[in-house]
A = this chain, B = another copy of it.
Protein backbone atom coordinates (compact mmCIF):
# COMPACT_ATOMS: atom_id res chain seq x y z
CA UNK A 1 0.00 0.00 0.00
CA UNK A 2 2.83 2.34 0.94
CA UNK A 3 5.48 1.16 -1.53
CA UNK A 4 4.51 3.10 -4.61
CA UNK A 5 3.95 6.49 -2.97
CA UNK A 6 5.88 9.58 -4.03
CA UNK A 7 8.00 11.05 -1.22
CA UNK A 8 6.86 14.42 0.15
CA UNK A 9 8.82 17.27 -1.35
CA UNK A 10 11.54 18.65 0.95
CA UNK A 11 10.79 16.16 3.74
CA UNK A 12 13.13 13.26 4.40
CA UNK A 13 11.27 11.32 7.13
CA UNK A 14 7.59 11.48 7.97
CA UNK A 15 6.88 10.03 11.43
CA UNK A 16 3.28 9.49 12.55
CA UNK A 17 2.52 9.78 16.27
CA UNK A 18 -0.70 7.95 17.08
CA UNK A 19 -2.47 6.23 19.90
CA UNK A 20 -5.88 4.85 19.03
CA UNK A 21 -7.26 6.41 22.22
CA UNK A 22 -7.60 10.12 22.88
CA UNK A 23 -6.33 11.97 25.92
CA UNK A 24 -3.24 9.86 26.47
CA UNK A 25 -0.91 12.80 25.87
CA UNK A 26 -0.32 12.24 22.19
CA UNK A 27 -0.01 15.90 21.27
CA UNK A 28 2.19 16.65 24.28
CA UNK A 29 4.47 13.74 23.39
CA UNK A 30 4.51 14.65 19.69
CA UNK A 31 5.58 18.23 20.33
CA UNK A 32 8.23 17.24 22.86
CA UNK A 33 9.64 14.62 20.48
CA UNK A 34 9.75 17.21 17.71
CA UNK A 35 11.59 19.69 19.92
CA UNK A 36 13.93 16.91 21.08
CA UNK A 37 14.83 16.06 17.46
CA UNK A 38 15.40 19.76 16.84
CA UNK A 39 17.62 19.92 19.94
CA UNK A 40 19.69 17.10 18.41
CA UNK A 41 20.29 19.33 15.40
CA UNK A 42 17.53 18.11 13.08
CA UNK A 43 15.33 20.30 10.93
CA UNK A 44 11.86 19.46 12.16
CA UNK A 45 8.22 20.11 11.29
CA UNK A 46 5.02 19.34 13.17
CA UNK A 47 1.86 18.61 11.20
CA UNK A 48 -1.17 18.82 13.47
CA UNK A 49 -3.54 16.37 11.76
CA UNK A 50 -6.27 16.61 14.42
CA UNK A 51 -8.88 18.61 12.52
CA UNK A 52 -11.56 18.38 15.22
CA UNK A 53 -9.29 19.28 18.14
CA UNK A 54 -6.01 20.88 17.07
CA UNK A 55 -3.64 21.35 20.03
CA UNK A 56 -0.34 22.31 18.46
CA UNK A 57 -0.90 26.08 18.10
CA UNK A 58 -1.39 26.30 21.86
CA UNK A 59 1.37 23.84 22.75
CA UNK A 60 3.87 25.68 20.56
CA UNK A 61 2.74 29.04 21.95
CA UNK A 62 1.51 30.42 18.63
CA UNK A 63 -2.27 30.55 19.20
CA UNK A 64 -4.01 33.11 17.04
CA UNK A 65 -1.38 33.11 14.28
CA UNK A 66 -2.59 32.67 10.73
CA UNK A 67 -0.71 30.87 7.98
CA UNK A 68 0.21 33.03 5.03
CA UNK A 69 0.62 32.23 1.37
CA UNK A 70 2.96 33.64 -1.27
CA UNK A 71 1.04 32.31 -4.27
CA UNK A 72 -2.54 31.89 -3.04
CA UNK A 73 -2.12 28.12 -3.47
CA UNK A 74 0.33 26.91 -0.88
CA UNK A 75 0.83 27.73 2.80
CA UNK A 76 3.91 28.88 4.65
CA UNK A 77 4.32 26.99 7.94
CA UNK A 78 4.47 28.94 11.21
CA UNK A 79 7.81 28.86 13.04
CA UNK A 80 7.91 28.30 16.81
CA UNK A 81 10.76 27.21 19.08
CA UNK A 82 12.77 26.49 15.93
CA UNK A 83 10.29 24.03 14.38
CA UNK A 84 7.89 24.55 11.48
CA UNK A 85 4.21 23.77 11.99
CA UNK A 86 0.81 23.81 10.31
CA UNK A 87 -2.55 23.13 11.93
CA UNK A 88 -6.25 23.58 11.32
CA UNK A 89 -5.92 25.94 14.28
CA UNK A 90 -4.09 28.45 12.03
CA UNK A 91 -6.94 28.44 9.52
CA UNK A 92 -10.05 28.83 11.65
CA UNK A 93 -11.15 30.39 14.90
CA UNK A 94 -9.91 28.42 17.92
CA UNK A 95 -13.40 27.97 19.34
CA UNK A 96 -15.23 27.06 16.16
CA UNK A 97 -16.27 23.40 16.05
CA UNK A 98 -15.54 21.66 12.75
CA UNK A 99 -18.81 19.74 12.41
CA UNK A 100 -17.61 17.74 9.46
CA UNK A 101 -18.19 14.35 7.96
CA UNK A 102 -15.24 12.24 6.83
CA UNK A 103 -14.73 13.48 3.26
CA UNK A 104 -14.29 17.07 4.51
CA UNK A 105 -11.71 15.87 7.02
CA UNK A 106 -9.87 13.99 4.28
CA UNK A 107 -9.77 17.10 2.13
CA UNK A 108 -8.50 19.30 4.97
CA UNK A 109 -5.77 16.83 5.96
CA UNK A 110 -4.71 16.41 2.33
CA UNK A 111 -4.34 20.17 1.99
CA UNK A 112 -2.33 20.48 5.19
CA UNK A 113 0.01 17.74 3.97
CA UNK A 114 0.47 18.67 0.32
CA UNK A 115 0.00 22.41 0.23
CA UNK A 116 2.52 23.36 2.88
CA UNK A 117 5.90 24.70 1.82
CA UNK A 118 8.03 22.79 4.30
CA UNK A 119 11.53 24.19 4.35
CA UNK A 120 13.97 21.29 3.97
CA UNK A 121 12.91 18.98 6.82
CA UNK A 122 14.79 16.01 8.25
CA UNK A 123 11.72 14.98 10.23
CA UNK A 124 8.03 15.77 9.91
CA UNK A 125 6.14 14.66 13.03
CA UNK A 126 2.45 14.06 12.33
CA UNK A 127 0.21 14.43 15.41
CA UNK A 128 -2.76 12.16 14.61
CA UNK A 129 -6.26 12.36 16.07
CA UNK A 130 -7.64 9.40 18.06
CA UNK A 131 -9.10 6.43 16.22
CA UNK A 132 -8.32 4.55 13.05
CA UNK A 133 -10.46 6.53 10.64
CA UNK A 134 -10.34 9.01 7.80
CA UNK A 135 -7.22 10.93 8.85
CA UNK A 136 -5.19 7.77 9.45
CA UNK A 137 -6.36 6.25 6.17
CA UNK A 138 -5.64 9.40 4.21
CA UNK A 139 -2.15 9.71 5.63
CA UNK A 140 -1.20 6.07 5.09
CA UNK A 141 -2.64 6.00 1.56
CA UNK A 142 -1.06 9.24 0.37
CA UNK A 143 2.22 9.76 2.21
CA UNK A 144 5.18 7.38 2.49
CA UNK A 145 5.76 7.10 6.23
CA UNK A 146 9.22 6.37 7.59
CA UNK A 147 7.64 5.03 10.77
CA UNK A 148 5.02 5.35 13.47
CA UNK A 149 5.30 5.86 17.22
CA UNK A 150 2.45 4.66 19.44
CA UNK A 151 1.59 6.53 22.64
CA UNK A 152 -0.36 4.83 25.39
CA UNK A 153 -1.19 5.21 29.04
CA UNK A 154 -0.56 2.07 31.09
CA UNK A 155 -4.12 0.89 31.84
CA UNK A 156 -5.82 -1.95 30.00
CA UNK A 157 -8.58 0.11 28.44
CA UNK A 158 -6.04 2.44 26.80
CA UNK A 159 -3.90 -0.49 25.70
CA UNK A 160 -6.88 -1.97 23.86
CA UNK A 161 -7.07 1.10 21.65
CA UNK A 162 -3.30 1.52 21.36
CA UNK A 163 -3.04 -2.07 20.14
CA UNK A 164 -5.62 -1.27 17.46
CA UNK A 165 -3.60 1.77 16.39
CA UNK A 166 -0.45 -0.32 16.22
CA UNK A 167 -2.15 -3.08 14.21
CA UNK A 168 -3.44 -0.53 11.74
CA UNK A 169 0.10 0.64 10.94
CA UNK A 170 1.28 -2.96 10.58
CA UNK A 171 -1.59 -3.68 8.20
CA UNK A 172 -0.53 -0.90 5.85
CA UNK A 173 3.17 -1.79 6.14
CA UNK A 174 4.29 1.25 8.10
CA UNK A 175 7.13 0.20 10.44
CA UNK A 176 6.26 0.84 14.08
CA UNK A 177 9.38 2.39 15.60
CA UNK A 178 8.21 1.82 19.16
CA UNK A 179 5.87 2.58 22.02
CA UNK A 180 6.02 5.45 24.49
CA UNK A 181 4.20 4.96 27.78
CA UNK A 182 2.77 8.18 29.15
CA UNK A 183 1.34 9.09 32.58
CA UNK A 184 3.25 6.11 33.99
CA UNK A 185 3.37 6.96 37.66
CA UNK A 186 2.27 9.96 39.62
CA UNK A 187 4.77 11.25 42.14
CA UNK A 188 3.17 13.35 44.87
CA UNK A 189 4.80 16.77 44.85
CA UNK A 190 4.39 16.88 48.65
CA UNK A 191 5.47 13.49 50.01
CA UNK A 192 7.02 11.77 46.98
CA UNK A 193 4.52 8.91 47.16
CA UNK A 194 4.29 7.08 43.83
CA UNK A 195 0.81 6.13 42.70
CA UNK A 196 -0.02 4.28 39.45
CA UNK A 197 -3.23 6.28 38.84
CA UNK A 198 -3.51 4.94 35.31
CA UNK A 199 -2.03 1.51 36.07
CA UNK A 200 1.48 0.16 35.47
CA UNK A 201 3.52 -1.66 32.90
CA UNK A 202 1.08 -1.41 30.01
CA UNK A 203 3.50 0.24 27.60
CA UNK A 204 6.12 -2.43 28.21
CA UNK A 205 3.50 -5.17 27.74
CA UNK A 206 2.33 -3.67 24.46
CA UNK A 207 5.92 -3.26 23.19
CA UNK A 208 6.85 -6.82 24.19
CA UNK A 209 3.85 -8.54 22.66
CA UNK A 210 4.23 -6.52 19.45
CA UNK A 211 7.97 -7.07 19.16
CA UNK A 212 8.78 -3.34 19.06
CA UNK A 213 10.98 -1.31 21.43
CA UNK A 214 9.68 0.67 24.39
CA UNK A 215 11.13 4.08 23.51
CA UNK A 216 10.39 5.68 26.87
CA UNK A 217 8.18 6.11 29.89
CA UNK A 218 6.99 9.53 31.01
CA UNK A 219 5.50 10.16 34.45
CA UNK A 220 2.10 11.76 35.14
CA UNK A 221 3.62 15.08 36.04
CA UNK A 222 1.81 18.37 36.43
CA UNK A 223 4.87 20.22 35.06
CA UNK A 224 4.80 18.38 31.72
CA UNK A 225 1.11 19.20 31.37
CA UNK A 226 1.48 22.85 32.36
CA UNK A 227 4.55 23.43 30.19
CA UNK A 228 2.78 22.12 27.09
CA UNK A 229 -0.51 23.90 27.83
CA UNK A 230 1.44 27.11 28.35
CA UNK A 231 3.15 26.98 24.96
CA UNK A 232 6.59 26.05 26.31
CA UNK A 233 6.91 22.27 26.16
CA UNK A 234 9.19 20.71 28.77
CA UNK A 235 12.02 19.94 26.31
CA UNK A 236 12.53 23.69 25.79
CA UNK A 237 11.20 24.98 29.15
CA UNK A 238 13.25 22.67 31.38
CA UNK A 239 15.89 21.08 29.13
CA UNK A 240 17.78 19.57 32.06
CA UNK A 241 14.76 17.96 33.74
CA UNK A 242 14.36 14.19 33.90
CA UNK A 243 11.30 14.44 31.65
CA UNK A 244 13.15 16.41 28.95
CA UNK A 245 15.96 13.86 29.07
CA UNK A 246 13.44 11.03 28.68
CA UNK A 247 11.94 12.73 25.60
CA UNK A 248 15.40 13.23 24.13
CA UNK A 249 16.36 9.60 24.73
CA UNK A 250 13.11 8.46 23.05
CA UNK A 251 13.72 10.79 20.10
CA UNK A 252 17.31 9.56 19.69
CA UNK A 253 16.19 5.92 19.79
CA UNK A 254 13.53 6.58 17.17
CA UNK A 255 16.00 8.46 14.95
CA UNK A 256 18.54 5.65 15.26
CA UNK A 257 15.94 3.08 14.24
CA UNK A 258 15.02 5.23 11.24
CA UNK A 259 18.63 5.59 10.21
CA UNK A 260 19.03 1.82 10.25
CA UNK A 261 15.93 1.25 8.14
CA UNK A 262 16.30 4.23 5.87
CA UNK A 263 16.26 3.49 2.18
CA UNK A 264 16.83 6.38 -0.12
CA UNK A 265 13.89 5.89 -2.44
CA UNK A 266 15.54 7.93 -5.18
CA UNK A 267 18.46 5.50 -5.41
CA UNK A 268 16.10 2.74 -6.50
CA UNK A 269 15.57 4.42 -9.84
CA UNK A 270 18.39 4.71 -12.37
CA UNK A 271 19.45 8.28 -12.98
CA UNK A 272 18.50 9.41 -16.47
CA UNK A 273 21.28 11.33 -18.11
CA UNK A 274 20.77 13.05 -21.42
CA UNK A 275 24.07 13.17 -23.21
CA UNK A 276 24.86 15.31 -26.15
CA UNK A 277 26.39 12.87 -28.56
Shortest beta-carbon distance from A48 to chain B in Å: 12
Shortest beta-carbon distance from A169 to chain B in Å: 10
A122 lies within 8 A of chain B by Cβ: no
| Contact yes or no, A101 B137, CB < 8 A | yes
Contact A102 B102, CB 8 Å, known A52-B164, A188-B195: yes
Q: How long is the Cα–Cα vector from A110 to B105 in the complex, in angstroms?
A: 20
| Contact yes or no, A157 B229, CB < 8 A | yes
Shortest beta-carbon distance from A192 to chain B in Å: 9
A220 lies within 8 A of chain B by Cβ: yes
Q: How long is the Cα–Cα vector from A52 to B20 in the complex, in angstroms?
A: 8
Contact of A198 among B94, B132, B156, B225 (CB under 8 A): B225
Copies in the complex: 2
Contact A130 B52, CB 8 Å, known A23-B24, A160-B58, A225-B197: yes
Chain B residues within an 8 Å CB radius of A23 = 21-24, 130, 153, 158
| Contact yes or no, A94 B160, CB < 8 A | yes
Contact A100 B53, CB 8 Å, known A21-B22, A22-B22, A193-B188: no
Contact of A157 among B58, B102, B160, B186 (CB under 8 A): B58
Chain B residues within an 8 Å CB radius of A3 = none
Contact A102 B105, CB 8 Å, known A131-B53, A188-B191, A189-B195: yes
Chain B residues within an 8 Å CB radius of A156 = 58, 229
Residues of A within 8 A of B (CB): 20-24, 27, 52-53, 55, 58-59, 94-103, 105-106, 129-134, 136-137, 153, 155-158, 160-161, 163-165, 167-168, 171, 186, 188-191, 193, 195-199, 220, 222, 225, 228-229
